[in-house]
Structure 1
Amino acid sequence: MTKKQNLSHKQTRAFQPEKLSKPRDFILPEVIKNAKAHRQSLVLEIGAGKGKHALLFAKANPQKQLIAIERTRNKFEAFAKLVQVQNLANLTAIHADAIAWIVQAIAPNSITQIYLLYPNPEQHNPNQQWLNMPFFEFLLSRLQVGGKIILATNIERYIDNAEEQARELWCLPTVRQEVAIDSQRTHFEIKYLARGQTCWQITMTKPEGYQTRFDDWQALSSL
């Protein structure tokens, strides 16, 4: 861990990646090994569910490589079947805990976009919200300058807190907007909008010169 001084954010609690165990049966995907050589943009989706957004994104962006992570087995198995049938070369589905897997696999300054679509936090446990986690600093270190994190939710208290944390704690330029009523990125999004609920999205951008404790921390699989 380096650059403990002059950090670009105000998070005092430090994430400890060295304490995480490697996910079971971990294999570094070829797409990560080859992305730099082929000058391909790497995009990350955390909590891909049954893969609706991942499949739509991969089809619409053939020039980008999407890595979509889902922890729940039954959702991942449904997702993996669709990936196999549709045979999209630019989509890699991963069954793992996202935090441990990212520590193992993702190098600093290598991701252009990160999607966090409709996470389902325990509302009485704010520590489970992404922007309240010390891990969020590590995630920012994996993002390229100008890269974006997109978070969507139907929970107004969640989006209010995320917007405040993004600006005040993480010191990130942030844009908040309502999700269009005809958006269909995920099954949750379709369900919420059909019920007449409002969904929100914030887009956070990593600015030039942004410093974290983990800017020189290499993925453990490459050590």
Structure 2
Amino acid sequence: MKTFPNIRLFQIEHIHAPRDFHVVQHAHACLEIGAGKGKHALGFAAKHPQLHLLAIERTAEKYQAFLKQYQAAPLSNLSPIHADAIAWSVHGLKPQQLEQIFILYPNPEPKNPAQRWLNMPYFEFLLSRLQDGGSITLASNIPDYIAEAAAQCQQVWKLPFVQETIPKHFARTHFETKYLERGEPCSQLIITKPQGYATRFDEFDKTV
């Protein structure tokens, strides 16, 4: 008998496709949620030509800045996407399609903790899109945010992880650069999806 996370079911039937939606299918795909102005996305794609990064940004101003840099030096293994990450992933990703997921310096949602990524029922769906053995990198400059996410990994999601202090020379995103220059303690969780990990969305495929 399969054991699923003890969290309410993500209401997938209420999620509509984004405007001007189209599927981007690639082998060896990775996903970045909240790509901002694209600093990490552009650097990651340049360093990992064997991987294809789907980089999603919802905010129009940040996406346009990202797109401008991408168009100046386009990379064939990078797809900038202007959309809500939840809606796009529900309609655009297949089960176990992703090798890596990056959530770097997300909004900590101080007034609405239920909207933090590991607190949302959506996180179960996101796990279903990740390959067995795949990883999720979650970075923040807020120690309590990382501590809560670590507790959720242990108590709700039953996922192994490693917590790391981010070195001062790192500068993957504009936020990371700013925080480290200020001397703020930045850290990350590297979360791994074990072999045979089950979700209630493992057979769900809107892309068919």
Give the TM-score, by structure 1 length. 0.91
| Residue identity matched to 2:37 | K
Aligned to 1:69: 56
Count of paired positions? 208
Please tell me the residue identity of whatever aligns with 1:27. Answer: H
Equivalent in the alignment of 1:203: 190
Unpaired runs of at least 5, structure 1: none
Q: Which stretches of structure 1, 4 residues or more, deviate above 6 A after TM superposition?
A: none
Distance 1:104 1:147 in 2: 20
Name the structure, 1 or 2, with higher relative contact order (CA <8 Å, separation 6+).
1
Q: Is structure 2 residue 68 aligned with structure 1 residue 81?
A: yes
Deviation by residue 1:161-191 (Cα, 9 ceiling, x = unmatched) = 0000011110001100110011000000000
Q: Distance in 2 between matches of 1:122 and 1:179?
A: 22
Question: Which shifted more, 186-195 or 121-130?
Answer: 121-130
Q: Deviations over 1:47-77 (max 9, x none)?
A: 0000000000000000100000000000000
- Partner deviation per Cα, 1:17-63 (whole Å, 9 max, x = no partner): 1111111111122xx1xx2xxxx310000000000000000000001
2:12 corresponds to which of 9, 17, 20: 17
1:132 to 105, 119, 138: 119
Q: Please give the secondary structure, in 2, of the residue aligned with 1:157.
A: helix
Whole-angstrom CA distance in 1 between matches of 2:101 and 2:23: 19
1:101 equivalent to 2:92? Answer: no
1:92 aligns with 2:88: no
Q: Which residue of 2 aligns with 1:221?
A: 207
The alignment status of 1:57 with 2:44, answered yes or no, reads yes
In 2, distance between residues paired with 1:113 and 1:221?
19
Query: Identity rate of aligned residues, in percent?
Result: 52
User: Which residue does the alignment assign to 1:26?
Assistant: 21
Structure 2 equivalent of residue 6 of structure 1: 2
Q: Give the TM-score normalised by structure 2.
A: 0.97
Mapped partners of 1:43, 1:122: distance in 2: 25
